[in-house]
Structure formats: structure tokens, C-alpha cells
Amino acid sequence: MTEICQYAFANTQIKSLTIPHTVTSVENYVCYSCVNLETVRYEGAVIGAFMFSGCTALKNFTIAVTCKEICDNCFNGCNELTLIDYEGSLKDWTAVTKQKNWNSLANLTKVQCLDGYLTYDAETKEWNEVKENA
């Protein structure tokens, strides 16, 4: 599988999902309103726009270092999602292209990397890096 079409899993009852590293293209709203989706492992190259919008139960999200781009508004309404586990370094995370509002309308406050983490400051609307073992 190399691509996932628009609304491919939308409104389904899936509880977990793994997107393999072979996926290089995703359209918008792939998992739109999957209200039972709790766990995602994402190895694909791109997380599409509004991809997980309305996934109100989503709380476990792991992104592999193979992901190179996160599109806009992909986590809208993911109120349970407060942490992303990223399987790369802080430097790798910085190199991931993040489109406008990629984390908007979500309660996401932390991205855990292999060598540290980033926390979101809601007042300044900025991500602050914290290196571990520094």
C-alpha cells in the first residue's frame, strides 16, 4: 500500500490503526470522526490534512522517524491526545515539515523524542525544547 484515499476510514468503528512506512501519499479526512479510534502508529511519509479530525478518543499516537510532513489541522477535536511519541531525536523532529495549525484544536502539550521532549506553551503558542541528560 502506497496511498490512502480521502475518507478511507472515516466514521468507522476502528479502535487502532497502523499506517506502514510504504505509505507515501494520503488525502484529507482519512480517519475523520472515528470516535472509537484510540491508538495510532504512524510510519508513513505524510500525515494528511484533517486526517484525525474528530477522533475524540484518540490518546496514544506514535510517529516513526519515517514521517517527513504533518499537514494542517490533522488533530482537530482530538481532545484526549495530549502526548505524541516520536521515534526520532529532537533534531529529527525539527526537520519534519509541520503545516499551519497542525496541532490546532487539540489538547496536545508534549512531543516525546528519543533525546528529550517539547512542551507547548499555550500563551506564546510556541513549542519549547527540553533535552534530557543535558
pLDDT digits (tens, 9 = 90+) for 109-129: 999 999 999 999 988 889 999
Q: How many whole angstroms separate alpha carbon 76 and alpha carbon 103?
A: 7
Position 102, amino acid: W
Task: Name residues whose C-beta falls within 8 Å of residue 98's C-beta, 6 or more positions apart in sequence.
Answer: 69, 70
3-state DSSP assignment of residue 92 = helix
pLDDT digits (tens, 9 = 90+) for 36-90: 999 999 999 999 999 999 999 999 999 999 999 999 999 999 999 999 999 999 9
The whole-model pTM stands at 0.94
Length of the chain: 134
